[in-house]
């Protein structure tokens, strides 16, 4: 059993988690947005799909949060992994298109790598449940 955290250590840990949450939110918005006004639409989609409030997302995106609830952090992690999973599905689709349009192209190694990443991502999502 380790030594109990002091107030300043706890504050540093809370601030570190809040910064991590900000990074996750910004990355999700970046991956979901396209063009001017994309941030707002991305946050609305994240709110709709993952039940995380628009203003919570905005607060985190702007880096204003000093602390974050554990339950919200878990929600953000699950949402982030879902966005990553969407990116993997896009890659899978691109590989299918390339295979279909190029007769002699060998995409087996890329397909295997995407499949491996998808398995690892699913394991991470299961660990959060």
Domain contains 51? yes
Rounded to 5 degrees, φ, ψ at 50 are: -120, 5
DSSP track, 28-74: HHHHH--STTHHHHHHHHHHHHH---HHHHHHHHTT--S---HHHHH
Q: What range does the domain containing 80 cover?
A: 7-128
Domain contains 21? yes
pTM here is 0.80
Cα gap 103→119, rounded to integer Å: 28
Cα gap 67→26, rounded to integer Å: 17
Per-residue pLDDT of the chain (129 residues; tens, 9 = 90+): 555 666 666 666 788 999 999 999 999 999 988 888 899 999 999 999 999 999 999 999 999 999 899 899 999 999 999 999 999 999 999 998 988 888 777 888 888 999 999 999 999 988 987
Domain contains 22? yes
CA dihedral (5, 11, 17, 23) positive or negative: negative
Number of domains in the chain: 1
């Amino acid at each position: 059993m380790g030594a109990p955290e002091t107030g300043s250590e706890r504050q540093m840990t809370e601030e570190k988690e809040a910064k991590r949450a900000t990074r996750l939110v910004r990355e999700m918005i970046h991956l979901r947005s396209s063009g001017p006004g994309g941030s707002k639409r991305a946050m609305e989609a994240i709110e709709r799909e993952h039940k995380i409030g628009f203003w919570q997302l905005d607060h985190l995106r702007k880096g204003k949060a000093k602390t974050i609830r554990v339950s919200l952090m878990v929600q953000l992690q699950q949402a982030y992994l879902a966005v990553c999973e969407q990116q993997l599905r896009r890659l899978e689709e691109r590989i299918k298109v390339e295979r279909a349009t190029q007769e002699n192209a060998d995409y087996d190694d890329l397909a295997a790598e995407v499949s491996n990443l998808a398995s690892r991502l699913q394991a991470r999502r299961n660990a959060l449940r």
